[in-house]
Amino acid sequence: MVKTSSKLRKTIIVVAVVVAEMLLGAKLVALAHSNLVKVLISDSIFVIGFLIVLGLFHDVLRRDWQLYRQHLWRNLGLGLLSLIGTYGILYLSRWGLSLFGVKMSAAAAPAAISMQAVTVIGTVPTILAPFSEEMIFRHGLFYQWKDSRILGVIMFFVSSIAFGLAHWNNFNGHLVLMIPYMCVGAWFAFIYWRSRNIWQNIMAHFFFDFPNVLAAIFLLILSSFQ
């Protein structure tokens, strides 16, 4: 009973973190007039959420890392294979939606943030997202409930849908455009269930997000020569 109560408390907290990041972040960023201030506000909110999640699940990260690093190169290779699967699922889900006349578009970056240097600062959430999002959606909303057969299945779908909805601001509230990310959420949940190690998810997610970080750094380097 105490264990279930602890799980429920952590689940409520991670849901509150996601809602606060989406609603509070959008409100506060809208009040700022400077590109730099917008990015700093967004980064600060995300970092606070990250620290809260880290405080909740640091024991899971530490425990799983001890196992993950024992076969580090093999596990990194599996992470790259998982990345290929992620791109495949995104492609297939978008292709499937296109059969119904849905025109897909890439996740939109904040239009007001255009300076290269500011863009690099804005990659902080991208770097931290694999850690915080995997702990929130895969562990907090799914894996810690897996021992209950019925609840585990329910939370598998809940966590997958919630992961897609967390990209609400990226797609300007277009629900259909979030479906591919719900499919990716299900894929990441499957990876965690199969591997039983959160670091498999973190690295696959990190590889998926890393091109955005490289692109921002490339823009900064390119602008320095102009």
Say if residues 79 and 192 touch (Cβ distance below 8 Å): no
Whether the CB-CB separation of 32 and 41 falls below 8 Å is answered with: yes
Domain extents for the chain? 2-224
Instruction: List, in order, residues 6 or more apart from 105 with CB less than 8 Å away.
Output: 171, 177
Q: Which phi and psi (to 5°) does residue 216 adopt? A: -65, -45
Tell me the per-residue pLDDT of 163-175, one tens digit each, with 9 for 90 and over.
999 988 788 888 9
Decide which of 51 and 26 is more confident: 51
Report residue 3 as tokens: 């264990």
Each residue's pLDDT tens digit, 192-219: 999 999 999 999 999 998 887 777 667 6
- Would you tell me how many other CB atoms lie within 10 Å of the CB of residue 20? 14
Note the pLDDT tens digit of each residue in 39-56.
Answer: 888 889 999 999 999 999
Is 133 within 8 Å of 46 (Cβ atoms)?
Answer: no
